[in-house]
Structure 1
Amino acid sequence: MNNFEVIKTPIKDLVIIQPKVFGDERGFFLETYNKKSFEEHGLTMEFVQDNHSKSKKGVLRGLHFQTKFTQGKLVRAVKGSVYDVAVDLRKSSETYGQWYGVLLTEQNKTMFYIPEGFAHGFLALEDDTEFMYKCTDLYSPEYDSGLLWNDETINIDWRLEEFGIKEEELTISDKDQKQAKFDKNKKYFE
């Protein structure tokens, strides 16, 4: 029995994963990862690190990637909600430089798999939002890199108005405010 529905996005290898939720008056139960079930869907990644973050409403984290020891990430909101975004940085990809976003909430239990070769970021939509990441490689700070969250070439629609957040209300780290702009001629990844 496979307890996951895998939904393709317009960007190859970037997928939405909807777990089957078993709920009753006591609460709910769901699998967040099952190696055999994932492999049945062609998802053969191996996870080696889990991360957990907490953010207040309006915190924007990203867009992050590692230039070596690239990380694939299986992400989900365990409390609150986020608008999660991935940018394809695989130079050989037909969708190089394109982005895709998905709403991940405590209620919808949706997960998003961002494979190696992508930049990743998210916007917290509620106070006390907790976010979990399963990663396919260890964090290597010496290879930490990123793209500017509001780069006009990528032109991500963060849906601020829809989510009731004004740009001046965003909380963005100094590091993320100084990230590089996207260079369409650069070879980030094969």
Structure 2
Amino acid sequence: MKILETALPGCLLIEQPQFNDNRGCFRELYVQQRYQAAGITEPLLQDNLSLSGKGVIRGMHFQRQQPQGKLVTVLSGKIYDVMVDIRPTSRTFGQWQAIELSAELPQQLWIPPGFAHGFQALADNSLVFYKTSSYYNAQDEGAFNAFDPQLNIPWPVKEAVLSGKDSQAPAFQQVFNRGR
């Protein structure tokens, strides 16, 4: 397992070993000891799975009182994964980074608590599996507009599909009530 730092402190791109042969491939998605040795010590309590068609954007979401760390893996297809630092005292508050994740590459993305998260499917039938460090609580969920001009995230698929709730999400600055 190879750990690569991203531009946002605490967010990690994880390259995993994958074993290929004439039958296909094998990859261990999560071995607690290895992740703890890499500094990911939060307990991972809940597994989530989403299936999206090309252009679907899921996000930008976060939990207010019980922030979730997320270990993201693409099982089929390809996504444009976006993380935004929402830690009020962070020097990178309001900054974002995007990383393409694909089922073709044995990679995962660790997004620690304190980040908003969203992604856009770049292929039909993009299957995304992620483990979270706290349980989902609908009353604790927050969101901001994925197309906020202040953040200016260049979503690659122009014909985006969003849920009704996500399309009505407020601007980043309205949610966090401070400038960048």
TM superposition score normalised by structure 1: 0.89
Query: Structure 1 92/127 Cα, relative in aligned 2: closer, same or farther at 3 Å?
Result: same
In the alignment, structure 2 segments of 5+ residues that lack a partner are none
Q: CA RMSD in A?
A: 1.6
Deviations 1:92-139 (A, max 9, x none): 111110001111111012111111111100000111111101000000
Question: 2:88 aligned to 75, 88, 91, which one?
Answer: 91
- Runs of 4+ more than 2 Å apart: 184-188
In the alignment, structure 1 segments of 5+ residues that lack a partner are none
Paired residue for 2:164?
174
Question: 1:35 aligned to 32, 37, 45, which one?
Answer: 32
Partner SS for 1:74: strand
Question: 1:54 aligned to 51, 54, 66, which one?
Answer: 51
Residues 83 and 117 in structure 2, CA contact (< 8 A), matched pair in contact too: yes
Are 2:5 and 1:8 aligned? yes
Identity of counterpart residues, as a percentage?
37
Question: 1:118 aligned to 115, 127, 135, which one?
Answer: 115
Deviation at residue 30 of structure 1 after TM alignment: 1.1
Q: Distance in 1 between matches of 2:164 and 2:90?
A: 31
Q: Distance in 2 between matches of 1:89 and 1:121?
A: 13
Q: Distance in 1 between matches of 2:89 and 2:54?
A: 36
Q: What count of residue pairs does the alignment treat as equivalent? A: 178
Q: Distance in 2 between matches of 1:39 and 1:74?
A: 13
Deviation at residue 185 of structure 1 after TM alignment: 9.3
Letter in 1 for 2:160: L
Q: Distance in 2 between matches of 1:171 and 1:184?
A: 23
Paired residue for 2:61?
64
Q: Distance in 1 between matches of 2:47 and 2:36?
A: 19
Q: Distance in 2 between matches of 1:104 and 1:175?
A: 25
